Structure 1
Amino acid sequence: MSGFIDTLQFVFAPQIINGLSIGVAVVLMALGLTIIFGLLDVINMAHGEFYALGAYVGVTLMALGVSFWVVLLFVPLIMAPLGYVTERLFIQRVFHQKDRHILTLLLTFGLAIVLEDVYKLIYGPQALSIKTPIGGGSEVLGVFFPNYRLFLMGIGAAIIVGVWLLVYRTSLGAMVRAAAFDKDMASSLGVPVSHVYAGTFAFGVALAGLAGVLLAPVYSVFPTMGKDFILLAFSVVIVGGLGSIKGALIAGLVLTQIQAISSLYISPSWTDPLVFAIMVVVLMIRPQGLFGRLGHA
């Protein structure tokens, strides 16, 4: 019995906590994706590059002497206007076209390629880093764990709860859900639908940028970091259900736990294919994902 407890404590506990710390960051990415799709019906292929942009903005500000905690506050405020302008200048131009799903997908994919090349031109191909703002570690379940990972879980959970409350417990969230359910009816009731669309896109982009800053001290910052991370976020959104906040939360935490624990038994290079295999199985059994769209919690 003691051997079993030791195995849980020293083998599984570190992987579970590590999976949780990454899971909350993945959920932040997936929330932005699922909110944008749930309202705009736009699959934002540039979401990963906005995540990378948040990390690069953080690197730049900290190189100028700005505190990490100030950066954490200002990056979403910088990213939101960029997202708003992107929606107004690009998405809206093709949003009302007949083939808007394909057009917006191609448009955001092209934007992703451009942004990635811009990062290479400005910062170079080399990896950059942000110093971990919280040093040391604490004992959790009998295992010594870095304090910043624990902070990442705490602030991630707080942000996720805040997003849920904003969408489902405020008048602003009610306008967003009304525009998602029936934009014509919402417009007739005085809801500024076009601005709600742009604001929602901006909010999703701000969440991606915030995730980039939060993960920068854990991972290196490099031009293709968004491409690497967005695949997992898309898997989370698809498994949870496009447009479902609850689905993004549950799928994000479950898939990252599967990834973390499976790495004990298989090569780490096979953990991503395992997640994608789960996504394929879910699509075969339940094409709409595990949960509903934005109008449902």
Structure 2
Amino acid sequence: MNNELVVKDNILINASYNLELTEQRLILLSIVRARDTGQGITADSKLQIHAGDYMYHYKVDRHAAYKALKEAALNLFERQFSFKEEHENTGKIGVVKSRWVSRIKYIDELAILEVTFSPDVVPLITRLEKHFTSYQLKQVSQLTSKYAIRLYEILIAWREVGKTPVINLSDFRMQLGLEPTEYTAMNNFKKRVLEPAITQINTYTDIDANYEQFKDGRIISGIKFTFKEKLNHQGLSVNKDKNTVDMFTGLTEKQLSFFAKKLAYDDVFASSYAEVGETYSDLEKRLLLRLTNLDFIETNAHHLKRLGLSL
């Protein structure tokens, strides 16, 4: 249960929306349930979330779980999000506005919420193509700021490089779901939104994050984030079970660690892939993350085959 994955297309990661904490938590639970079916879902699929699921994952009491489900039944249907989409024939970019759910039902006597995702959402949480972000649900289960959950997702989309590009401040505010009139003063924005989110992420998740401000003249116009994964003395993520099978490779963390070591200490591979001044140990740690990326595996398949490593 602790390794349930949330998977979102990066279109959804970069979308603009404002969901309250309980609504975000229920959406994430619904995404996990959609993947748990093992058969895929459609725009007609009805996903059931029990109050017990909410209690278990978010460590709240029964009253809080019942309240979250009831409030979602009242409000979640009205929630919208927007994202950019390329027009099929012209290549021009348009902005799509859509709902999260097309249908929602709450059975009070059973404390069950039944969710049906909208047609726009379904492909963004089920297809496994190159541009998606995944993370364990437990990483955000202790976050109590709705902005912290959104910021964590935005950062994790850049996990492989450990830093974001400079994000335009107005774009960033939209991603967090802020209205133009909310926290307009930068010091208020940092005090109420940004810094509490960073603090929660650094306290409760598997990464440590920092940010840097960029100015256009005297006005702050952009933010860049850097972050690193928390590692134990073996160089493995502190929150990963070495015997847990990776969703994309079918290998355990222990097996992936073995493969990373083999590649790092292979002179042919290391001579072309290692960065200037990088130690074998540092290269091994970097490869451990890269080996869960399908693009990396495809690009370096000949090296893996040469070393007798089969993914």
User: Same-fold call, TM > 0.5?
Assistant: no
TM-score, normalised by the number of residues in structure 1 = 0.28
TM-score, normalised by the number of residues in structure 2 = 0.27
**Larger helix fraction of residues:** 1
